[in-house]
Structure 1
Amino acid sequence: MFVNSATTFVADALRGLVASTADIAWHADPGFLTRKEPLKSGRVALLSGGGSGHEPMHAGFIGAGMLTGVCPGLVFTSPNALQVHEASRAVSVGGGVLHIVKNYTGDVMNFSIARELLHEYGIESDHVLVDDDVASERADGDGPGRRGTAATVIVEKICGAAAERGDTLGAVASVGRRVAENSRSMAVAVSPCTLPGASEPSFDLPEGEIELGIGIHGERGTERVPAMPAQDLVAALTQPVIDSLGLKRGESVIAFVNGLGATHPMELQLLYGELAEFLSDKGILIARPLVGSLVTALNMGGASITLVRVDDEILELFDAPTDAPTDAPAWPNVSAGNDSILPERGGFGPSFSPTETDSVRDEFISAWMASWVERVLAEEPSLTDLDRRAGDGDFGTNMVAALGQVDLAAIRDSYSARTIFEAVSDSYLGNAGGTSGALFGIWFRQFYNSLTTVDLANITAAARGGLDKITELGGARTGDKTMVDAIAPAVEALEGATDLGEGLRAAAAAAHEGVRSTEHLTANRGRASYVGDAAKGVVDPGALVIAWFFEAASDAH
């Protein structure tokens, strides 16, 4: 993989994208892309985004007739709520802002928080949730539901055309939801991807075997089987899609064969030929074909098949306008412009400015948080390995993205107790992204809000408030194999204590016991839920970091 540094990989790639594209502008603080040419006043603005590594989705689909702006996260990590909020404000021209969101916990959570903030500014907003992946469909309806994958770009194209013709926010959202509800996908990997800076792939796949039902974040699939001829593979991918949609003979679809990053165009065309024959045998009509690597998983070898049930309006919007459906650079119908500018080098994310200026320092809090931050940063490789085995491998990177930006010297020597928690919270919300960025950011925000004085009552109130906010936002409960499995018993221990030292010792012990309990659980929330029993035998890394948090508090006290 071509890299300068794993930590600057996304920023360096975005720099090249902006330099090679005429109508895309980069806003480094807090980090988002928009069209250079603003929309006409009163039009609906379309904003999407998600973890990087899926290019050309989403940034390649900025342009007239598609997206107005995009929020890129770190690799396989959702953007944070501050990015989405500021990007939404930047693209808004009075007609409202529509968020097109893939169904991953971090994406859903951060876009939702951003819409709450937009309401405070009087900006109307709505969203379309894309949940097309049948591999993550559960008959009992439990868990986070179907993941959002390749159908996202078709939703973006059709919503973009509706907004371009002047539809209202409600009308654009309505047609987008209709497309999403009538879209299903299924993917296969013949080789896993490797994240920038990683020394091994996201999962192990022996020669001669393939992984059915994989996700686009490097997750392993739902079933590992021997390699098979393309004709049989297409049938194995497509039949579950047909079944989930309930497609019948005589119905029409958009048929999309998508490459996952390391698949040659000849292979995709071969798969499309088999798909066309399979659908013909079923009596299902292909109204429009789409073939290409539009929604990737870095350098994963593999492909996905997406079918979208269509009606006359959806086809009209898919084609509109007929002379050049969009000038978005990655949609397969336009050539690149040449009036572009190479941006300066640099990352993205907000800088921290304390709001507390007159509070007294607290040696205990300084020692507690400094030692915890140092430990998490030092343990990044082990956290990444845990998440690679239990999820998608980005947890350690997210921890470093947040905590690598805090000023450790200021935590030790100058920040007040509240400012320390404010700085850590802002760094998670503004730099980490993903589910972990949102949840850890909200967790530390409760300590910032509660610690007017440092005592058992306020620390307990902060921890209880953090637990309540996390369960409200993410829906996780004890036993779901998440950070809640460490937080909940620690909160109970604090609430049963009469002395701060006793409470912190009990909380640390209870949190570590909670971590051990996650080893043999099957995840029901977060990305580990997509790999099912494959995550058994691995403790949850989020819970482990929380246990370290309480352990550091006990040691410092």
Structure 2
Amino acid sequence: MKKILNEPLAYVDEMLDGLCLAHPDVYRRAGESGRVIARAAPAREGKVGVVSGGGSGHLPLFTGYVGTGLLDACAIGNVFAGPTVGDCIDAMREADHGAGVLRLYGNYGGDRMNFDMAGELAELDGLESTTVLVTDDVASASAQESAKRRGVAGVVYAYRFAGAKAEQEGASLADVTAVARKAVAGCRSIGVALTPCIVPEVGKPGFTIDDGEIEMGMGIHGEPGLWRGPLKRADALVQEMLERLLSDLDTARGERVSVLVNSLGATPYEELYIVFRAVARELQTRGLQIVQPLVGRYATSMEMTGVSLTIQRLDSELEWLLHAPAVSPFWRA
């Protein structure tokens, strides 16, 4: 195993220390365990809070998106492990500014269980909250069972829209929740993996992919995909990914969409732009207009080599929210 670390068991806490030391104007550690990242400066009273959580190993996903126009707080677990109930409660309390809190996170069993329990306990103390689960991964379940789908890179769009809506004066918890639900309904993602990744505490890859092989639809924790086979040309990979996404979204000519071409960790920008070139050409052929594309590392899986592609349908409200101000070292648009 080759990783730049001290002790595997200290990996997450030392990372969080470094994150806050590098960006003290944006982040601070909070909560009893220190496993909550909150905004360095408190938001205004009367603002709806937006909170999330998940395992480490996916930066900038989860903790990186705390900031103005995005999340208020985030609970973080060990690498590829969800946050504890206590950290979820602490994150909700950090995000509470008197107008309720939206719990917004990916559809994973442990995260659901702990955030549901945290919500019940927080509500006993009078904190009103709602939940929206992100379910954008088309490879993880059929359209008929879309509620079972995992949440992957599409959660970035949900953070953006819900966070921007929550910054608006007069926006209610119901308003912010409705925007998050609309975002999830119009978002689809799929990924392709070329190499595995290593969890520091384990010290070896959690799965293997042979040289010259890829896996279409593999999850960000190594969950099985749709097929495994020889590496294809970039244009052919994009063609298949778009076919799967757009057939599920049922888009029409003239629609406006945002596109996220995301590195799963080790894929260089050069290859991401080769992918985006193919995406832009195909969407133009289909009569779809791309608005504010995102290309880079937005939701990773440690050092996995691979790429995910996300299509987000837009209406006038979501497009306005996409362009609204945001403050985070990792939000680049």
Following the alignment from structure 1 to structure 2, what is the Cα–Cα distance between the partners of residues 4 and 236? 41
Which ranges in structure 1 are unaligned for 5 or more consecutive residues?
334-557
Higher RCO by CA contacts (8 Å cutoff, separation 6 or greater): 2
Aligned partner of 2:227 in structure 1 is 223
Structure-2 residue corresponding to 1:160: 163
Deviations 1:248-275 (A, max 9, x none): 2222111110100001011111110111
The Cα RMSD (Å) is 1.4
Counterparts of residues 59-458 of structure 1 (less than 5 Å): 59-138=63-142, 141=145, 145-166=148-169, 167-320=171-324, 325-332=325-332
**Counterpart-to-counterpart distance in 2, 1:239 and 1:265:** 23
CA contact (8 A) 1:3 1:9 kept: yes
CA offset at residue 304 of structure 1? 0.3
CA deviations 1:6-58 (Å, max 9, x no partner) are 11111111110010012211025232111121111111111111011110111
Flag structure 2 segments of 5+ consecutive residues without an equivalent: none
1:11 aligned residue: 13
CA shift, 1:87, in A, is 1.7
Task: Work out the CA distance in 2 between the residues paired with 1:139 and 1:107.
Answer: 22
Once the two structures are TM-superposed, the CA of residue 200 in structure 1 deviates from its matched residue by 2.6
Question: Which residue of structure 2 lines up, in the alignment, with residue 394 of structure 1?
Answer: none
Q: CA deviation at 1:295?
A: 0.2
Q: Please list the CA deviations of residues 90-147 of structure 1 after superposition, one character each: whole Å capped at 9, or x if unmatched.
A: 22110111111101111111111111011100011112210000001235539x7110
Contact 1:203/1:220, CA 8 A, preserved across alignment: no
Q: Is the 8 A contact 1:203 1:219 kept in 2?
A: no
Residue 218 of structure 1 deviates from its aligned partner by 2.6
Deviations 1:395-441 (A, max 9, x none): xxxxxxxxxxxxxxxxxxxxxxxxxxxxxxxxxxxxxxxxxxxxxxx
Q: Distance in 1 between matches of 2:264 and 2:29?
A: 26
TM-score (norm 2): 0.95
- 2:67 touches 2:328 (CA, 8 Å); kept in 1? yes
CA contact (8 A) 1:187 1:215 kept: yes
Q: 2:31, 2:91 within 8 Å by CA — same for their partners in 1?
A: no
Q: State the secondary structure of the residue aligned to 2:139.
A: helix
CA offsets, 1:168-203, max 9 Å, x none? 110000011000010000000111111114343121
Task: Return the index of the structure with the highest Cα Rg.
Answer: 1
- For 2:330, give the aligned amino acid: A
Letter in 2 for 1:112: D
1:74 and 1:67 mapped to 2: Cα distance?
Answer: 20
Within the candidate set 15, 19, 22, 1:20 is matched to 22
Answer whether contact 1:186 1:306 (CA < 8 A) is retained: yes
SS of the residue aligned with 2:265? coil
Distance 1:319 1:141 in 2: 32
Q: Indicate the SS of the match to 2:221.
A: coil
Q: Compute the TM-score of the two structures, normalised by the length of structure 1.
A: 0.58
The residue identity in structure 2 corresponding to 1:71 is A
In 2: Cα distance, 1:139 partner to 1:230 partner: 26
AA partner of residue 26 (structure 1): R
SS of residue matched to 1:134: coil
Q: Does 1:2 align with 2:18?
A: no
Describe the superposition over 1:422-466 as per-residue Cα deviations: whole angstroms up to 9, x where unpaired. Answer: xxxxxxxxxxxxxxxxxxxxxxxxxxxxxxxxxxxxxxxxxxxxx
**C-alpha distance 296-132 of structure 1, shift in aligned 2 (>3 A):** same
